[in-house]
Structure 1
Amino acid sequence: MATDNLYFWNEFELKQPPLVTLQVEDTGFAKSVFVVINRFLQQLSEPDAMEFDETAALIGRLMARRKNSFRNMPGFRSVCKLNSALCRLLRLDLARDLQQFRGALPDVCDENLGGAMPTRSNFEFILVRLMGFYHLHERIRECCHAAASYFTKLLRNNFFMEFTTLLIAALAKINKLSSAQASRCASLYNKLRPQVPHFPQVAKHKFLKENQELPAKLELIKNTHSQAKETNTPTLVLKPKKVVTKLEKAKLEAKSDVGTIVERKESPAQAVTEVKFNEEVLATVADAQKFIARESKARQQTPVPESCLTKKIPKHEWLGAQTLFQRKLSKDPAKALSIFRKFIVSKIK
């Protein structure tokens, strides 16, 4: 097959041959064709197909809402390509072509009875439409993986948390529903492809050229998780890190051998409450902002309470640390958090 004609199914304005019916002596094979097409059309009207359209519309709205914020990001360009593929799939309208072809099949299908059958060109047009539907879903899944891998990195860095969480959820849902629809389409194509020689052919209305050939079968889409294990590709499911609670830490410390604990009694006048600082309270930018607000409020009290961790830090150094943190936050949040954490640790510990 010529290289120029490998992707003839992707022609935007694919010219449909005229729907012509010819009289044949054996119409028994048309029954299985009618059954599999009818079952596929029923699947297109199931609730998951409606969810696919709703999620596709949500992705289009998210893209239009944030096109000025992310237009230079490679992940957002993948979302734009995904939206184009979804619009192309909507314009394909496979259900209309299948219903039109199914209506041209004879009402009574029997090996001993003749009847009017659509031509081979009409049947080949349906197979090419199925190929287009299948490969468009393949394109959709590629764009979903490319976009999700990029926006997952933003999510890990706490960038645009609400938007990226919603977008990744929509991408995962589109990817799942697309795999199901593509698998059904491949199953229908593989059942219809062997029936090509049974349809009558008209020399004047040939749909495929001499250097064009339909593939023998389409590959069924495997489960996303099993496919990811075989190919070592990341899935769209985010795996959260295990969080160790304070109670679990206390149990682990209790199991460790710390020797014999000697109790030392102190008078109430000599007992001093020691305030310890834990670096984990400054794990994210949001934690640092809460820490600054809490400590600033405590430092304004007279007298300053013992629970104030930054009590011993001079006023000018505390204000300078806040100013530097706010200035670096707009350019590099990770660096701003690192500098502020090192300053606090060096002053308190």
Structure 2
Amino acid sequence: MASLADESAFATLGQDPAGFERWLVVKSFSLLAAICRTGILIVAFILLVLDPLIYGPRWWEADAQQLTVWRVCAAAYFLLFLLASGYGVSHPARSRILLAFFVAGAALFCWLGVLSWTRSGDLSTYAIFLLTMACVFSYPGHARSAIHIAATTVLAVCMAWFDGVADVDVGATGTNLVALTIASLLIDRHLMAMNRALYVEQRRSEYERERADRVLYSALPESIANELKNSPTVRAQRLPLKKIKTIGDAYMVVGKGALAPIAELALDMVQAVAIYSQRSGLALQTRSGIDVGPAVAGVIGRSCLHYDVWGDAVNTASRMESTGASTKVQVSEAVFQELRDRFIFEARGECLVKGKGPLHTYFLLGHQPR
């Protein structure tokens, strides 16, 4: 029954449109201030440094006047939304601020596109804006697609209206503009799918943590579980490790590239339980097993996706745990050979391991003195 309930919960993780919308808005809103600060710095540098070097005292003449006005408006745009980013505390407020940011930005850079095209036939700045918006921000629904299409339509109409002012190929420029808009729409769609997958994965991780907590609280009194869970001795979050899953009361962790963090975590867990046992007078015990070697990781399943790790090292680590001793960390010969210069070990001798036969194993005791 528990496994059926878990499969049902996993299957419904992505079926939460309201939750995904809220998560997407929070994610995009968190980038707003950084983008605005960057925009202010760029516009200020152009306005205060580059323009005086290029135009000199002619910066307010007809040739440069419109660009100068645009840059002042751009600085005001970024400053306004930088200030607004500090006031978006509710989901509706953040949604409105982001939507206003997209609409005002499209109008502002559409204006710049017209200026650039009539002066030199160049739409590169508008292209940078469109692709930046598509790659950096995401927004639920079809509002952004509508904004991109509307901005392109307005810019195309302006180009047709001013046809003849600039000595450029309007047809080729218009084709590039349409292609650019289509590319931005495709990028937006692709990133939306990636964001949805990321949201589901984060929800899955949260569910796994909740399930692990339920196992912990069902096996131990709440006071004991809380102290063990929040013990500062265990540094799992500060080590370069990945928790894969919980199997009953077992906790499966893998590391990539370095074996020492796994040993550190195992010792931390033993110490955390020992400290609590001494403090509470309860005889709590743990048992751990470690092996090192190649493994394969990936996502399996059709209707219910599941991330897991397979390999001989995974199986051996499981056997090290199951054949170990209470309050001990049993490791394989390969682990001993790799960590013998950094940690203290005690030889256990030969241990009969299912599927392996007799293996030389060791107990991990602590760090080597410095």
Compute the TM-score of the two structures, normalised by the length of structure 1.
0.31
Structure with more strand by fraction: 2
Q: Which has the higher contact order (CA 8 A, sep 6+)?
A: 1
Question: What TM-score results when the alignment is normalised by the length of structure 2?
Answer: 0.30
Task: State the structure with more CA Rg.
Answer: 1
